[in-house]
Homo-oligomer: A and B are copies of this chain.
Amino acid sequence: MMNEPIDPRDAERHRAKMAKRKAVQDAEVATKTTVEKGLLIVHTGPGKGKSTAAFGLALRMLGYGRSVGVVQFIKGAWHTGEKDAFSAFGDRVKWHTMGEGFTWETQDLARDKAAAQRAFEKAVELMADPTLSLVVLDELNIALRYDYLDLAEVIAALAARRPDLHVVVTGRNAKPDMLAAADLVTEMQLVKHHFAAGVKAQVGIEF
């Protein structure tokens, strides 16, 4: 396929369309004035990819020679694949699994609150670490949703971070105050899922 000769009119239409697109893109980039700003990024919504995209951002930072921190608030038993993969980057990744596994596995409110509180303290510690360019607060939204943590205190800690530190917060049902504080919010929507077709969770995909 693709070997038919191209109609010159198609080629010209394509060139004109792309030239217009490039002009729009260039103009947009030219209007941006703030050069270095640490972003508060939120990945929320019911779809897949919230944590995975956060770890992908961490990977990209590592590719630029920078260092990253990760605090897992809830999924104690999950993401072992990523954790093992990040070990390839040695001490440039500070990884802390603080949660006790899925909250519905423990059924113990006092224990869940205490675990979330320890995770939050670790997050504050990492955000104060000047060697880190990005900190992932994985499933923080879940800890907030169940009121394991005080929302105002968490938002204040995020706002108090140094100006060039990027933070990624993941988890469905992000609180409105979290969305208001964020610079960049992406909502992952589930359009189609293989569980509905009777397919089990797959190694390396779901866990």
Contact = CB atoms under 8 A, between A and B. Distances in A.
Nearest to A55: B56
**Identical chains bound together, number:** 2
A82 B110 contact: no
B63 A56 contact: no
A134 B60 contact: no
A32 to B, nearest CB: 4
Nearest to A202: B39
A52 B49 CA distance: 9
Nearest to A186: B47
Interface in A22-42: 22, 25, 28-29, 31-37, 39, 41
B200 A191 contact: no
A37 B199 contact: yes
Contacts of A28: 195
Given A187-B191, A188-B49, A189-B45, A33 B200 contact: yes
Interface string A77-115: 001111111101100000000000011111111101110
28 contacts: A2-B150, A10-B109, A22-B104, A28-B195, A31-B198, A33-B198, A37-B194, A39-B199, A41-B205, A49-B49, A49-B53, A53-B53, A57-B205, A59-B85, A60-B81, A61-B81, A63-B81, A64-B84, A64-B204, A88-B88, A88-B89, A183-B194, A183-B197, A185-B191, A185-B192, A187-B188, A187-B191, A189-B189
Q: In the A-B complex, list the 3 residue pairs whose CB atoms are closest, starting with the nearest.
A: A63-B85, A63-B81, A56-B56
